Structure 1
């Protein structure tokens, strides 16, 4: 026997046996990893992709899902490979470390993750789409882009606003162009001495003559309030294929036409005015130098006396 082998307690057969065991574990690892990875890539990923397409999810959501499924398949294949290779303790340590990292990242990026989740729901539920005109939190504009984290809106002052998706998903959003038609309302005030029926007919006729106002539903007018100085007549008109430009143009032309019609027919459009009444009180105060004034009067009398002599 080799003295060196006796000294270290290792023989050639032991080395060969250990190498054979390591090689066997390596083969098990590779086979397990490849089998599970190919199964996930060729079966699971296409199945998930088909399900997402059938459910009508947006392309951005499907792309994100593909990435997540790919990462999940990789880690599952890695876990199975270590298990069949005889290293279950590695999985326990990796799971513990992964859980700690996931918890830390979750606390550090909770707003970011919330925006991603909100982006997925926006792309799925479609409360608005690219090109829509939306209003939220006293802001309005046209949607230019919807990403998984933020949406970009172009205001009507030609400014770009980058809005986190969480803000849009957690607040009420008005989408005036969601349907084929849009109703507009405008309140006209006429004097108490004016004929309500005559003013109503004038409003309806001008609405029917305005380009862009629909005949069906027909324009209508309702008396809605009795103000301090005017009777309120609320007009209701409908426009087709609503757009921000059409909304402003139609309303402007309609209101201008009614104002000119009222002026031509002598229908008053009173405005609130206020008259200030009261009185001003003047308070005279006696100066401290009143005696000096008396001396001056005496001097004048003396001058008059000398003139008399």
Structure 2
């Protein structure tokens, strides 16, 4: 008895329970193979290993299907189903070539990704984010070219598709021009990267910490606890000040001294006071610069640096500097003046004089003590006097 005949006899002798058992075992083997291939592809993290795992899983599916069909003696039904499709050989060849080409493109993009990553590691001045954006642009371009090649392989004319895509692009561009503008600005921001997540920035009149950067908007958390979402087109068109990029920040504090004070002494006192503050950097050294003649004082500009800029560190250093300089001026008798104004009269109008107002003492009328005399008063004054008498009696 030959091997095929032995297999046919063995299969025909199987009972229904045995056929069910063979089916269950085959399906269990299929599930185990799929899980194993997924685990291996995740562990190796390679496009080639992923493709190999997919091919292995497909082979297991084919074998499992054949085993189930043979176990239930359904070969005749299976061949009839295949024959009913009337698949031509050319279509099979096209399908095979298309699948193999797309698999090759998928593996090739993985190779490009690794090449870009190695290039970034060897090159200074290119961030990982910029490399990722570059890879995504290359990946999309390769996929579009691959799709065009596959469509040509199947004889699909691209002229109609391109015309339809052009009209669709015009309609979408008119309907969502603001969103598309934000997306384009987001791509520019993500590639140029004027700020990173966690930076302290000022965008327009908004001041806060960057919490997220997406393709459409940028999110800030202000120091009042507010979350602000700014469209990227507004971010790209507005002024952006990044206070965290250089890792240090210079702060200015203005203080005025009296015009009669010794300017050199005041500058020396302020510089020494800032040198004793622990919250500021010693290099670069703090500076004191004469800024301007104010209305009531000579204005000094106190300049100092902090590292790892943040709003909290700025406020703390600023408070410490103001307190130290104020204490130093108080100890040395350097006056920080209040606003003052000088008033003078115009010569053509004769000017004016300011003098003390003489004090006028009230006297009683001479006839007040004469009996029977009457002092004429109007009704208002009489009422005021009566009210005053009543108040005096009440106080007594």
TM-score, shorter chain, exceeding 0.5: yes
Equivalent residue for 2:104?
39
Match of 2:261 among 194, 197, 213: 194
Question: Where does residue 138 of structure 1 map in the other structure?
Answer: 205
Give 2:359's aligned residue.
none
| Equivalent residues in 2 for 1:6-25, closer than 5 Å | 23=88
2:176 corresponds to 1:109: yes
1:1-309 equivalence runs, <5 A: 23=88, 26-27=91-92, 29-43=94-108, 45-50=109-114, 52-53=116-117, 54-55=119-120, 56-58=127-129, 61=133, 65=137, 68-69=140-141, 72=144, 75-83=147-155, 87-88=156-157, 91-273=158-340
Pairwise CA RMSD: 3.1
**In structure 1, what is the Cα distance between the partners aligned to 2:171 and 2:344?**
70
183 and 135 in structure 1: CA distance in 2 versus 1, 3 angstrom threshold: same
Give the SS at the match of 2:191: helix
Aligned counterparts of 2:344 and 2:219: Cα–Cα separation in 1? 54
Judged with a 3 Å threshold, the aligned counterparts in structure 2 of structure 1 residues 52 and 125 are, in CA distance, closer, same or farther, namely farther
Cα displacement string for residues 36-73 of structure 1 (whole angstroms, at most 9, x for unaligned residues): 42332222x23543465335442873785487357525
Q: Check whether the contact 1:143–1:153 (CA below 8 A) recurs between aligned residues.
A: yes
Judging changes above 3 Å, is the alpha-carbon distance between structure 1 residues 68 and 276 closer, same or farther for their aligned structure 2 residues? farther
Q: Larger radius of gyration, structure 1 or 2?
A: 2
Distance in 1 between residues matched to 2:320 and 2:178, nearest whole Å: 46
The 1:212/1:191 distance shift into structure 2, 3 A limit, reads same
TM (norm. structure 1) is 0.72
Indicate how the Cα distance of structure 1 residues 60 and 42 shifts in structure 2: closer, same or farther if over 3 A, else same.
closer
Other structure's SS at 1:174 match:
strand
- Correspondence for 1:292: none
Q: Is the 8 A contact 1:130 1:143 kept in 2?
A: yes
What SS does structure 2 have at the residue aligned with 1:186?
Answer: strand
- Give the CA deviation at 1:246: 0.6
What SS does the corresponding residue of 2:243 show, helix, strand or coil? coil
Q: Any stretches of 5+ residues in structure 2 without a counterpart?
A: 1-84, 121-126, 346-351, 353-375, 377-396
Rounded to whole Å, the distance in 1 between the matches of 2:115 and 2:239 is 30
Larger RCO of the pair (alpha carbons < 8 Å, separation 6+): 1
Aligned length: 255
CA distance in 1 between partners of 2:311 and 2:174 (Å): 41
Q: Distance in 2 between matches of 1:176 and 1:73?
A: 43
**Unaligned runs of at least 5 residues, structure 1:** 1-18, 280-299, 301-309
